[in-house]
């Protein structure tokens, strides 16, 4: 048995009921880790209890108990995070919102009212039942609404309708000291007071516990297509990507990957990558309310691609084929995970994506290694995997990651576009964001969380 002192456990049981406080080591195991690559994943603490509140009020009371005993609290969603954000790195309480998973669709206003523990998969499914759509698609549908908002997740379908921040109309948040804040409304616009919701979006579980959200939905675009454009030359692929984006054409998604990466993912899923030609690919996803518009866009993409030297584009409007293509794309991360030291989340300004890839190739040459590269080229957000290369020490692997970061920074980029800082990227914060940022964050954190109980050793570096 590894747990906190009995008097704390008794207080927690008094709030949520005996059956919702888990202390058995084996039952706790699945709440200790997330999807962070093994090379940079922090060790969880041994003394942890898992608490499963069933309502916002219970979340608030749990936080009050934590403050009373000054015990750290780690909020957990789907555990799909990639920077160790949900890992309880100090003895404390893991709060999982898995029981709070209701989704109510207000089709009249095109808004979903979702509890934070609901999964992305459930939200998508519920919206579709009402002929509505939640377009965002950060790769793992097991991620929770709370986690997605806390990380301001992006994903492939962010070019047209944005990242999580762009969907959140309102939030219910429990502050670290237990007060409940209701922010925003079901309206598209709201200028009443400081936008505290936007402080919470992307705050990675350190400033408050998100318990509920109003999320903007879109009409289910009746006409959707996915086009995969193969190329023999990477340079041509990027020329097409730029030309499409700079012409004012806004697809739902614009992704880049190469054959080795995508075939690896297809194989991992027991599938075959259907496009036989080409070494480099752009994947364009389209969604429109009018079929004529979709056709015009398909024609336009085809023309631009061929003018810039693509091979035969593959376009499909079939839902099953589109789902399969997206699935293969989404599983690239998982297919590489067992050999991955770290997955990087570098993002560069749109015009520099091709230059960034050139720099990655230089790094590959310099070290004699393969750096799988793929991602959301439509947002300049390119993932690079540093693998566990034989004969390389941890320091050398970290140096490779830093070389990739330097390449992004030299091009005016950032080291994370969507995964966040969490634990894994904390060591770069001081260097890259500066001491004024750190001090401001510390003041904000101290104002909201005077006892430093919420996700205490994440995001903000220690003194």
Ligand X SMILES: Cc1cc2nc3c(=O)[nH]c(=O)nc-3n(C[C@H](O)[C@H](O)[C@H](O)COP(=O)(O)OP(=O)(O)OC[C@H]3O[C@@H](n4cnc5c(N)ncnc54)[C@H](O)[C@@H]3O)c2cc1C
CB of 393 to ligand X, least distance (A): 27
CA distance 188 to 171: 13
Strand, helix or coil for residue 191: coil
Residues in contact with ligand X by CB under 6 A are: 34-35, 74-82, 85-86, 97, 116, 138-140, 143-144, 146-148, 150-151, 153-155, 204-205, 209-210, 333-334, 418-419, 422, 455, 458
Q: Closer to ligand X at the Cβ: 4 or 150?
A: 150
CB of 86 to ligand X, least distance (A): 4
- The backbone torsions φ and ψ at residue 316, rounded to the nearest 5 degrees and listed phi first, read -140, 145
CB of 153 to ligand X, least distance (A): 3
Q: Are strands 92-96 and 48-51 parallel, antiparallel or unpaired?
A: parallel
CA distance 253 to 285: 5
Q: Closer to ligand X at the Cβ: 12 or 311?
A: 12
Instruction: Please write down the long-range contacts of 27-33, taking CB distance under 8 Å and 24 or more positions apart.
Output: 28/2, 28/94, 30/79, 31/76, 31/79, 31/88, 31/94, 31/96, 32/87, 32/88, 32/94, 33/79, 33/87
Degrees, nearest 5: CA angle 418-186-416: 5
Strand, helix or coil for residue 36: coil
Q: Closer to ligand X at the Cβ: 53 or 313?
A: 53
Q: Closer to ligand X at the Cβ: 172 or 354?
A: 172
297 contacts 289 by C-beta, under 8 angstroms: no
Q: Which two tokens stand for residue 48?
A: 């942890």
For 217-235, the DSSP string reads -EE--SEEEEEEEEES-HH
CA distances from 286 to 124, 364, 377, 423, 462 (A): 17, 33, 15, 36, 45
CB of 454 to ligand X, least distance (A): 8
CA distance 158 to 68: 42
204 contacts 255 by C-beta, under 8 angstroms: no
Q: Closer to ligand X at the Cβ: 216 or 419?
A: 419
- Exposure string for 275-300, b = 16+ CB within 10 A, e = fewer: beebebbbbbbbbbeeeeebeebbee
CA distance 329 to 266: 8
CA distance 256 to 253: 10
CB of 131 to ligand X, least distance (A): 25
- The backbone torsions φ and ψ at residue 284, rounded to the nearest 5 degrees and listed phi first, read -110, 125
Q: Closer to ligand X at the Cβ: 31 or 314?
A: 31
What residues are paired with 93 via a beta bridge? 49, 73
CA distance 407 to 371: 14
CB of 110 to ligand X, least distance (A): 23
Q: Closer to ligand X at the Cβ: 134 or 304?
A: 134
Q: Closer to ligand X at the Cβ: 78 or 230?
A: 78
Q: Closer to ligand X at the Cβ: 200 or 244?
A: 200
Q: Closer to ligand X at the Cβ: 35 or 126?
A: 35
Counting beta carbons within 10 angstroms of the beta carbon of residue 374, is it exposed (0 to 12), middle (13 to 18) or buried (19 or more)?
Answer: buried
CB of 26 to ligand X, least distance (A): 20
Q: Closer to ligand X at the Cβ: 52 or 239?
A: 52
CB of 147 to ligand X, least distance (A): 2
């Amino acid at each position: 048995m590894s747990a906190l002192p009995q008097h704390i456990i008794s207080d927690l049981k008094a709030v949520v009921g005996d059956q919702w406080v888990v202390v058995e080591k084996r039952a706790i195991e699945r709440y200790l880790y997330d999807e962070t690559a093994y090379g940079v994943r922090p060790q969880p603490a041994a003394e942890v209890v898992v608490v499963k509140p069933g309502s916002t009020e219970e979340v608030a009371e749990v936080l009050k108990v934590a403050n009373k005993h000054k015990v750290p609290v780690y909020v957990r969603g789907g555990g799909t995070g990639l920077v160790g954000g949900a890992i309880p790195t100090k003895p404390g309480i893991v709060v999982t919102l898995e029981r709070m998973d209701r989704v109510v669709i207000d089709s009249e206003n095109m808004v979903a009212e979702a509890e934070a523990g609901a999964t992305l998969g459930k939200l998508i499914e519920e919206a579709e039942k009402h002929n509505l759509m939640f377009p965002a698609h950060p790769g793992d549908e097991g991620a929770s609404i709370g986690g997605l908002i806390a990380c301001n997740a992006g994903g492939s379908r962010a070019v047209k309708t944005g990242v999580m921040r762009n969907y959140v109309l309102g939030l219910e948040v429990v502050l670290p000291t237990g007060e409940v804040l209701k922010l925003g409304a079901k309206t598209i616009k709201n200028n009443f007071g400081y936008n505290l919701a936007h402080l919470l979006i992307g705050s990675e579980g350190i400033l408050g516990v998100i318990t509920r959200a109003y999320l903007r939905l879109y009409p289910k675009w009746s006409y959707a297509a996915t086009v995969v454009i193969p190329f023999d030359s990477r340079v041509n692929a990027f020329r097409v990507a730029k030309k499409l984006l700079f012409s004012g054409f806004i697809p739902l998604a614009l992704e880049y990957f190469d054959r080795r990466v995508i075939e690896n993912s297809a194989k991992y899923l027991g599938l075959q990558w259907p496009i036989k030609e080409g070494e480099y690919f752009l994947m364009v996803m389209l969604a429109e309310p009018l079929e004529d518009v979709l056709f015009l866009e398909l024609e336009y993409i085809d023309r631009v691609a061929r003018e810039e030297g693509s091979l035969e584009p593959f376009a499909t409007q079939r839902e099953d084929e589109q789902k399969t293509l997206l699935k293969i794309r989404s599983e690239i991360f998982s297919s590489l995970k067992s050999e991955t030291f770290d997955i990087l989340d570098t993002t560069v300004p749109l015009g520099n994506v091709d230059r960034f890839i050139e720099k990655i190739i230089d790094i590959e040459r310099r070290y004699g290694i393969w750096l799988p590269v793929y991602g959301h080229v439509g947002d300049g957000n390119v993932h690079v995997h540093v693998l566990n290369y034989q004969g390389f020490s941890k320091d050398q692997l970290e140096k490779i990651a830093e070389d990739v970061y330097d390449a992004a920074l030299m091009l005016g980029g950032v080291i994370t576009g969507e995964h966040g800082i969490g634990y894994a990227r904390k060591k770069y914060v001081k260097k890259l964001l500066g001491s004024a940022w750190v001090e401001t964050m510390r003041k904000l954190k101290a104002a909201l969380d005077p006892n430093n109980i919420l996700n205490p050793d994440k995001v903000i570096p220690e003194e």
